[in-house]
Amino acid sequence: MRTFLKQFSYAALALVFIASISSCEATRNANNKQKGAVIGAAGGAILGAIIGNNVGEGGNGELGAVIGGVVGGTAGVIIGNKMDKQAQKIEQEIPGAQVERVDDGIVVTFDENSGVYFDTNKYNINAASQATLDKLTNVLREYPDTNVLVVGHTDSTGSEEYNMTLSKQRAQSVTNYFTNVKGLSSSRFTTNWYGEQTPVADNSTAAGRAQNRRVNVVIVPNEKMIQDAEAEAGN
């Protein structure tokens, strides 16, 4: 995968840049294909969709390098069109999942209300979760020119160390299901985890904790898709 953002700190800076660009009326009203052309090579918004305002905290690696940046110009429009179609397919196949098109990627969020479930203090993939991941597997097979990042999170119940380990185990369980059980290529997957450090809701409420116990599956163009788009665009 092309690594436009070599350092995680670069991704944090890119988030600020994205925010400033996205404030203009043309970008706010643009569809995803148009956004690929307008924003150009400034990536990083995917990070915000995964970890909110917690960029730079926790985890086991540099997500910015994994995600890469946004391809601009005509090639970006071509990629945006392909990713739009893939996102629509996921929404059709898994109506309970939260599906967001962000930059050149797709962020799918599964919490306890949207199709991937973990019993308390457990990390095994149960039958209900298998059914959801099977549907996502079919989409990933249909669109092979992508890489996948799996990120695990927990609520704040329990110690920080325990939650970091639990989020790691849950994220790895999801990745292992895709690769070891369903046979998707392990070279497409990267796994990361953040424990309790990246809440998206209030941990003082049961509803908030349920939202924070989540797994993100991030789908981004691989090098082949980027090269094919650039060739089609005549770059």
What pLDDT, on the 0 to 100 scale, is given for residue 74?
92
133 touches 125 (CB < 8 A): yes
Query: In the block, which residue shows the tokens 């039958």?
Result: 127
Q: Report the alpha-carbon distance of residue 196 to residue 143 in Å, rounded.
A: 32
The tokens describing 211, both together, are: 């939202």
At 122, which amino acid appears? K
What pLDDT, on the 0 to 100 scale, is given for residue 71?
84
Q: Where are the domains of the chain?
A: 8-233
What pLDDT, on the 0 to 100 scale, is given for residue 35?
33
The tokens describing 23, both together, are: 């404030």
Structure pTM? 0.78
Task: Identify the CATH homologous superfamily for domain 8-233.
Answer: OmpA-like domain (3.30.1330.60)
Give the orientation angle of helix 73-93 with respect to helix 127-142, to 10 degrees: 150
| Predicted confidence band of residue 118 (pLDDT cuts 50, 70, 90) | confident
| Predicted confidence band of residue 44 (pLDDT cuts 50, 70, 90) | low
| Predicted confidence band of residue 54 (pLDDT cuts 50, 70, 90) | low
pLDDT digits (tens, 9 = 90+) for 60-88: 446 766 777 788 899 999 999 999 999 99
Per DSSP, what are the bridge partners of residue 191? 150
152 touches 193 (CB < 8 A): yes
Query: CA-CA-CA-CA torsion for 87, 15, 113, 159, nearest 10 degrees?
Result: 140
What pLDDT, on the 0 to 100 scale, is given for residue 32?
39
Residue 36: is its pLDDT beyond 60? Answer: no
The tokens describing 201, both together, are: 């809701």
Question: How would you label 123-159 residue by residue, b for 16+ Cβ within 10 Å and e otherwise?
Answer: bebeeebeebbebbbebbeebebbbbbbbbbbbbeee
What pLDDT, on the 0 to 100 scale, is given for residue 55?
53
Tell me how far CA of residue 164 lies from CA of 27, 133, 152, in angstroms: 37, 23, 9
The DSSP code for 188 is G
What pLDDT, on the 0 to 100 scale, is given for residue 3?
38
Residue 109: is its pLDDT beyond 50? Answer: yes
Residue 27: is its pLDDT beyond 70? Answer: no
Residue 112: is its pLDDT beyond 90? Answer: no
Residue 143: is its pLDDT beyond 90? Answer: yes
Q: Report the alpha-carbon distance of residue 230 to residue 69 in Å, rounded.
A: 15
Query: In the block, which residue shows the tokens 């599956």?
Result: 217
The DSSP code for 206 is H
Residue 37: is its pLDDT beyond 70? Answer: no
Residue 166: is its pLDDT beyond 80? Answer: yes
147 touches 190 (CB < 8 A): yes
Residue 156: is its pLDDT beyond 90? Answer: yes
